Amino acid sequence: MRWLPLVWFVSVTAQAQTPTPMKHASLSLRNDQVEIHYTEAGAGDVTLLFVHGWCINRNYWTETMAAFADEHQVMAIDLPGFGESTAKRTQYTMAEYAEDILAFADEKALEKVVLVAHSMAGDIMLEIAQRGNPNIIGLIGVDNFKFVDVALSPEQLAQFQTLFGAMAQDFATGAPAYADQLLFLPESPKDVRQRVMDDFAKANPAVAMSASQDFAQYGARYPQLLSQLELPLGLVNSDGVPNNLQALETYCQAGVKLYPIHGTGHYPMVENPAQFQEGLREIVAWVLK
């Protein structure tokens, strides 16, 4: 009978390593003008709805979804024009993306949604908040709202202008160069850096440039939009670029809580998944309290 503990250990280990079942599907929305591809797992009253940033896709949330699927229903979408999702339109604005996400939540009959929005998706989240949908009960940003009341130096502005000018001329070369130079730390994992650069290179230039031209205007609007939030704002942000928490506390009248992630660039969910998941778990508990 001495083999029983070993059998038990092997059985438990195998169960622990079993991948979380993920369902992949698509929905036609907004009078068949939009097709959203998404992944879902887990179950529960509360849905964590993960929204990716510029030029990437829903697969950046896979590890995070697996970590939370035992506690909540988790869903991640591809924004139209990125990943597998599509839309019959020429302008890819944050306001249109907000309508896409609300249509998706309505079609899926989601009643208690916590948005988890990375980078550009933070601006989409602000647009969603403006609409006052009662089914949105939590707002969590991931590495966004870092430059509230922070003026860029002339050198920084010149660098941005140079890189975006290069993208306008040759997106497949310029976009990865932008990611390589501005979105990582020297210690960022090389495989993550390459993954992001590859995804940027493969992105649809027309969609990406349309979206970037729109979200570029949001920085000046942050004081107004953050002041109008009726829900607290949770943030899980890298501290590779400083966070202006004082300004956020000034504008976020409903409350703000920041969990800093150390030693990562712009993609903490894949650069340091363990620390990111720890931080997100704390912030989710805070927004749901």
Query: Which pLDDT band holds residue 164 (cuts at 50, 70, 90)?
Result: confident
**Domain 21-150+217-288: which topology?**
Rossmann fold (3.40.50)
Q: What is the mean pLDDT of the chain?
A: 93
Q: Is the pLDDT of residue 115 over 80?
A: yes
Query: CA-to-CA distance for 177 and 182, rounded, in angstroms?
Result: 8
Q: Report whether pLDDT(288) > 50.
A: yes
Confirm if 47 and 72 have CB atoms less than 8 A apart.
Answer: yes
Amino acid at 89: R
Q: How many CB atoms lie within 10 A of CB 226?
A: 21
DSSP class of residue 153 equals P
Alpha carbons 171 and 212: distance in angstroms, whole number: 12
The confidence band for 17, taking pLDDT boundaries of 50, 70 and 90, is low
* Domain extents in the chain: 21-150+217-288
Please name which of 140, 199, 147, 157 lies closest in space to residue 175, comparing C-alpha atoms: 199
**Residue range 183-195: mean pLDDT, rounded:** 98
Can you give the pTM of this predicted structure? 0.92
Which of these ranges, 187-196, 215-224, 243-252, has the smallest mean pLDDT? 215-224
User: Per mean pLDDT, which range of 8-12, 38-42, 56-60, 196-200 is the poorest?
Assistant: 8-12
The rounded distance, in Å, linking the Cα atoms of 20 and 210 is 36
